[in-house]
C-alpha cells in the first residue's frame, strides 16, 4: 500500500530507464515527484520525493556529488537524471556514494517527457493512498466492532493476526498468561525457554500501558521494520486501542467488586452487620464460606505512611509507593487468598490487607500450620520483590464470623505490640503472646526498667568473651520451669555443668532458687527484657 521506486519503474512510460546505482534501495517509498534545476533546490526536500533533473546546474562533479549527498540526508527516495542532455555521464564518486547509501540513481532516456513521468507516478501514489484509506477504514471498523461487543483478548489478537499475518503473542503482565494466535508456536517455545527480558531484547514488541501501568506485551516474530509499514502499523495501533478498552473495562469491574468486597469485610470485622441472612447473601456473591470458627489475619506494611509522606515531600508523588503497595497486596492475595484450596474473604485498607480464615482449637487446627508457612513465604517474597517488609497480626479464632471484630482487634493489637518492641517484619499470633499482652502496657517505663535491673542485675552483660552467656541459660531454664534436667539437653551441656551455672546465676542475682516469688520476679523481668530487645516471639 506504499508506492516504491521499484513499482514506478514497472510503469509503461518508464521503459528504457536504467538504474545506475543504489539497486538495493528500490523499495524506498515514493510520496511525490519534484524538479530540481537550481543549486539550492534541495532545501525544499521533505522526504519521499522522486527527484527529476536535467542536471544543467550540476555539471561540475562536485556540484552533483553535493546534490546527491543533500538528497540522501533529506530523505529523498531517488533521483532520475537525463544524463544525455548535459552530464553525458555520472561521476564514479557519485555512483559510489549512491551505492553506499542504497540511493537509486536512475538514467532517464532523453526522449521521455517529464510529464510522462510525473503524472503516472502521482496517479500511482494517489491510488495507493486511496487503497490505504480503504484498508484503514476496514481495520478501524473491525476493531470498533470488537470494542462494541466487549471482546476478550483472544479475539482481539486473532483479529490483529488476520490483518498482519505475523507470528505474535500477547503476554499479560499481571498474570503472565500467554494469548496465542493460530501461528504462534515458535514464539511460545521461545517464551518457555528464555527469560522474558531476553525475549524482549531479541524480538520486536509493543508495550500496552494503561495510565502508566504496564498491562502486557505484544511480541512479534518478524523484522522490526515490518511493524513500521502501514499494513502492519494501522492494525497494530487499533489492536492496542482495543486492548486498552478491554483493560479499562476490567479495571472498572475490579474497582466495583473491590469496593463491594472491602465494605463487606469491613462490616464483618467492625460488627456492622445486624442480620445473619444479609451476611450469607453477600458471601454468596464471592463464593465465600463463612460457617464455623473464623480468625482474622492482618498484613500491615511497615513504615508505609512515613515512606509515602517522604516521597510526596521530595516531589516524587505518591504513584510509585502506591504501585509498591499494590504489588504487596497482589503477593499476599496470591499466597494466602486460595491457601489449601479455599477462597477466603479479604479487604484492602490504607496500608494493610485483612483476611478472614477458618479457625479451630489450638493444637487441633490442621489449617494453622499451613497458614504460618504461607505467611513466612509471603513475607520473604514481599521483601525480595519490593524491598518493603510487613508485620502480621493473627487474632484468636472465634466461634462465629459475627464475632470476628474481637479477632481483628487482637490481630491489630498484636502486630502493633510486636512492632513497638522489635520494629516489625515478624508474625504476631495473639494466642501465643501470653503474659506479654499484660506487660506490653508497662514496657519501657522507668518502673519496668528498674524492675529488670533489680531482678536480672548484671546478667545481660555477663556473657563476656570466654564466659558462658548466663542470660541465655536463664532464659532456657525459665522456659523449662527451672527444671535443670529438662533444660540440660536443650543447652547441650551436662547436668552438673548446668547445676554449676544455675548456682552462679543465683549468686549474681542474689535470689533463692527455692523461693517461688523470686522465680516469678525473675520470669517477669525476663519477659520485660524480651519486650525491650524485640525477642518476645523467639522463645
- Read off the CATH number of the domain in which 57 is found: 3.40.1390.20
Q: Is the pLDDT confidence value at 462 over 80?
A: no
Give pLDDT, residue 374: 94
Q: Are residues 230 and 159 in the same domain?
A: yes
Q: Which of 395, 411, 433 is the last residue of a domain?
A: 433
First and final C-alpha spacing in the chain: 76
- Average pLDDT of the residues in 126-152: 89
Both 19 and 82 in a single domain? yes
Last residue of a domain, one of 433, 458, 476: 433
Assess whether 280 and 240 both reside in one domain: no
Q: How far apart are CA 390 and CA 427, in angstroms?
A: 9
CATH number for position 464 = 1.10.10.2840
Model confidence at 290: pLDDT above 90: no
Indicate if 14 and 104 belong to the same structural domain. Answer: yes
pLDDT at 538: 41
Compute the average pLDDT of residues 16-45.
92
Do 401 and 488 share a domain, yes or no?
Answer: no
356 and 229 in a common domain: no
Domain-embedded: residue 447: yes
pLDDT score recorded for residue 362: 54
Overall average pLDDT of the 21-48 stretch: 91
- Exposed / middle / buried, residue 325 (Cβ in 10 Å: 0-12, 13-18, 19+): buried
In 95-227 the beta strands, taken as DSSP E runs, fall at 105-107, 168-172, 178-180, 205-210, 213-220
Q: What is the pLDDT of residue 187?
A: 82
Greater model confidence, 105 or 180? 105
449 and 429 part of one domain: no
Q: Is residue 189 part of a domain?
A: yes
- Is residue 265 a part of any domain in this protein? no
User: Last residue of some domain: 204, 220, 251?
Assistant: 251
pLDDT digits (tens, 9 = 90+) for 338-389: 888 888 999 999 899 999 999 876 545 688 899 999 999 999 999 998 999 9
CATH number at residue 406: 3.30.70.270
Q: What is the mean pLDDT of residues 85-107?
A: 94
pTM value is 0.52
Residue whose cell numbers read 563476656: 464
The answer to whether residues 243 and 387 belong to one domain is no
Residue 134 resides in a domain: no
483-492: pLDDT as tens digits:
999 999 988 8
**Distance separating alpha carbons of residues 274 and 290, to the nearest angstrom:** 16
% of residues, the chain, pLDDT over 70:
94
Helix/strand/coil percent split, the chain, to 5: 55, 15, 30
Q: According to the model, what pLDDT value does residue 92 have? A: 95
> For 389-437, how does the pLDDT look when each residue is reduced to its tens digit (9 = 90+)?
999 999 999 998 888 999 999 999 888 877 766 677 889 898 887 777 6
In the predicted structure, residue 105 carries a pLDDT above the cut 90 = yes
84 within domain boundaries: yes
The number of distinct structural domains making up the chain is 4
For residues 194-211, average pLDDT: 90
Would you say residue 539 lies in a domain?
no
Percent of all residues in the chain with a pLDDT value above 90, rounded to a whole number: 43
In a domain, 321, yes or no: yes
Residue 285 resides in a domain: yes
525 lies in which domain range? 438-533
Nearest-angstrom CA–CA distance, 173 and 302: 26
Once rounded to an integer, what is the mean pLDDT over residues 499-517? 90
Q: What is the mean pLDDT of residues 51-63?
A: 93
**Averaged pLDDT of the chain:** 87
Helix H, strand E, coil C: the string for 475-535 is: HHHHHCCCCHHHHHHHHCCCHHHHHHHHHHHHHHHCCCCCCHHHHHHHHHHHHHHHHHHCC
Q: Do 236 and 298 sit in the same domain of this protein? A: no
Amino acid at each position: 500500500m506504499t508506492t516504491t521506486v521499484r513499482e514506478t519503474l514497472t510503469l509503461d512510460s518508464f521503459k528504457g530507464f536504467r538504474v545506475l546505482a543504489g539497486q538495493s534501495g528500490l523499495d524506498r517509498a515514493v510520496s511525490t515527484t519534484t524538479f530540481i534545476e537550481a543549486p539550492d533546490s534541495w532545501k525544499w526536500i521533505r522526504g519521499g520525493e522522486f527527484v527529476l533533473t536535467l542536471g544543467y546546474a550540476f555539471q561540475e562533479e562536485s556540484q552533483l556529488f553535493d546534490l546527491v549527498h543533500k538528497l540522501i540526508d533529506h530523505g529523498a527516495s531517488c533521483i532520475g537524471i537525463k544524463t544525455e542532455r548535459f552530464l553525458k555521464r555520472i561521476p564514479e564518486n557519485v555512483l559510489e556514494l549512491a551505492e553506499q547509501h542504497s540511493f537509486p540513481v536512475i538514467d532517464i532516456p532523453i526522449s521521455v517527457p517529464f510529464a510522462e513521468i510525473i503524472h503516472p507516478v502521482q496517479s500511482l501514489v494517489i491510488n495507493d493512498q486511496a487503497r490505504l484509506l480503504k484498508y484503514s477504514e476496514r481495520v478501524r471498523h473491525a476493531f470498533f466492532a470488537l470494542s462494541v461487543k466487549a471482546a476478550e483478548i483472544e479475539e482481539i489478537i486473532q483479529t490483529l493476526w488476520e490483518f498482519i499475518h505475523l507470528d505474535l503473542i500477547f503476554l499479560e503482565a499481571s498474570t503472565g498468561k500467554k494469548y496465542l494466535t493460530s501461528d504462534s508456536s515458535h514464539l511460545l517455545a521461545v517464551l518457555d525457554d528464555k527469560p522474558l527480558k531476553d525475549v524482549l531484547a531479541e524480538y520486536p514488541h509493543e508495550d500496552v500501558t494503561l495510565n502508566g501501568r504496564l498491562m502486557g506485551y505484544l511480541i512479534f516474530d518478524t523484522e522490526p521494520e515490518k511493524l513500521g509499514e502501514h499494513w502492519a502499523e494501522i492494525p497494530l495501533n487499533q489492536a492496542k486501542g482495543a486492548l486498552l478498552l478491554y483493560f479499562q473495562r476490567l479495571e472498572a469491574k475490579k474497582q466495583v467488586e473491590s469496593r463491594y468486597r472491602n465494605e463487606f469485610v469491613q462490616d464483618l470485622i467492625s460488627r456492622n452487620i445486624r442480620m445473619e441472612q444479609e451476611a450469607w447473601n453477600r458471601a454468596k456473591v464471592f463464593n465465600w464460606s463463612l460457617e464455623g470458627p473464623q480468625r482474622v489475619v492482618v498484613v500491615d506494611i511497615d513504615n508505609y505512611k512515613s515512606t509515602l509522606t517522604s516521597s510526596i515531600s521530595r516531589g516524587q508523588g505518591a504513584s510509585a509507593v502506591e504501585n509498591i503497595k499494590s504489588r504487596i497486596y497482589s503477593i499476599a492475595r496470591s499466597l494466602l487468598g486460595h491457601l489449601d484450596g479455599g477462597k477466603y474473604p479479604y479487604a484492602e485498607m490504607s496500608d494493610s490487607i485483612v483476611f478472614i480464615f477458618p479457625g479451630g482449637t489450638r493444637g487441633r487446627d490442621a489449617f494453622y500450620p499451613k497458614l504460618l508457612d504461607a505467611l513466612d513465604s509471603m513475607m520473604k517474597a514481599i521483601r525480595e520483590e519490593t524491598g518493603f517488609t510487613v508485620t502480621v497480626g493473627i487474632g484468636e479464632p472465634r466461634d462465629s464470623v459475627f464475632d470476628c471484630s474481637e479477632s481483628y482487634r487482637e490481630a491489630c493489637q498484636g502486630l502493633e505490640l510486636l512492632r513497638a518492641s522489635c520494629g516489625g517484619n515478624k508474625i504476631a499470633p495473639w494466642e501465643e503472646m501470653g503474659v506479654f499482652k499484660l506487660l506490653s502496657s508497662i514496657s519501657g517505663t522507668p518502673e519496668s526498667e528498674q524492675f529488670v535491673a533489680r531482678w536480672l542485675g548484671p546478667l545481660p552483660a555477663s556473657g563476656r568473651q570466654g564466659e558462658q552467656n548466663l542470660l541465655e541459660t536463664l532464659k532456657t531454664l525459665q522456659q523449662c520451669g527451672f527444671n535443670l534436667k529438662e533444660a540440660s539437653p536443650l543447652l547441650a551441656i551436662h547436668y552438673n555443668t548446668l547445676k554449676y551455672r544455675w548456682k552462679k546465676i543465683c549468686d549474681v542475682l542474689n535470689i533463692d532458687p527455692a523461693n517461688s516469688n523470686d522465680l516469678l520476679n525473675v520470669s517477669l523481668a525476663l519477659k520485660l527484657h524480651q519486650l525491650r530487645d524485640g525477642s518476645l516471639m523467639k522463645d
